[in-house]
Amino acid sequence: MEDERIVGLFFERDGAALDEMQKKYGALLKSVAQKITGSEADAEECLNDALMNLWEAIPPARPQSLRAYSCRTVRNIALRRLTYNLADKRSANSSEPLDELEAVIADKGAELRFDDADFRLMLEGFLDGLSRESRVVFMKRYFFTDSVGDIAKDLCISESKVKSLLFRARRKLRKTVYREESE
């Protein structure tokens, strides 16, 4: 079913909207959640929570891209799940990609003083400055938390190239963050 029709079902408060979401995007959303939480059971719960969140958000929200909107929703839920698990030592998942990124924007003594809107603008400016391939690799690694091996396989490039692209992107992001902070 087309996204526009699914959104229409949400607006009509027709429960079939969730069935259609499950059918069309269930596997993708669960995959996003499982890469972050490391647990299939947690990923299932995150998926269910995400569907409920979508039900509550739409309407009034009318996402331009239902796929992107729902990925973002489930990702946030999965991240919160991960922090909950880590806080109670329920998970040994280390989430390498997030550690890599944290190392880039971790301060060297000064706290980051961005608010959400500023950070988003800065990040999108940084992304726009990357080549398309670099941007896709960056997003696959740090939004979808794909492994280097999976990224290489999906894009049919070598793992060395993935690492190289990520390394350069992180270096550029670091420069962007510190330049913005000093302004």
Chain residues in the site for other proteins (CB under 8 A): 63-65, 67-69, 71-72, 75-76, 79-80, 82-83, 86-87, 89, 95, 98, 101-102, 105-107, 109, 111-112, 114, 116, 119-120, 123-124, 127, 132-133, 135-136, 139-140, 142-144, 152-158, 160-161, 163-165, 167-168, 170-171
59 CB contacts (<8 Å, ≥6 apart)?
10, 11
CA distance 116 to 122: 10
131 CB contacts (<8 Å, ≥6 apart)?
none
Instruction: Assign 3-class secondary structure to 58-85.
Output: CCCCCCCCHHHHHHHHHHHHHHHHHHHH
Least distance to other proteins, CB of residue 127, Å: 6
Least distance to other proteins, CB of residue 84, Å: 9
Nearer of residues 14 and 96 to other proteins, judged by Cβ: 96
Nearer of residues 119 and 178 to other proteins, judged by Cβ: 119
Nearer of residues 55 and 163 to other proteins, judged by Cβ: 163
181 CB contacts (<8 Å, ≥6 apart)?
110, 112, 113, 114
Least distance to other proteins, CB of residue 16, Å: 24
Least distance to other proteins, CB of residue 85, Å: 10
Nearer of residues 14 and 167 to other proteins, judged by Cβ: 167
Least distance to other proteins, CB of residue 159, Å: 9
Nearer of residues 11 and 160 to other proteins, judged by Cβ: 160
CA distance 91 to 87: 9
Structure-token pair, residue 41: 């059971």
Q: CB of 53 within 8 A of CB of 73? A: yes
Nearer of residues 132 and 183 to other proteins, judged by Cβ: 132
User: Tokens 């950070």 map to which residue?
Assistant: 119
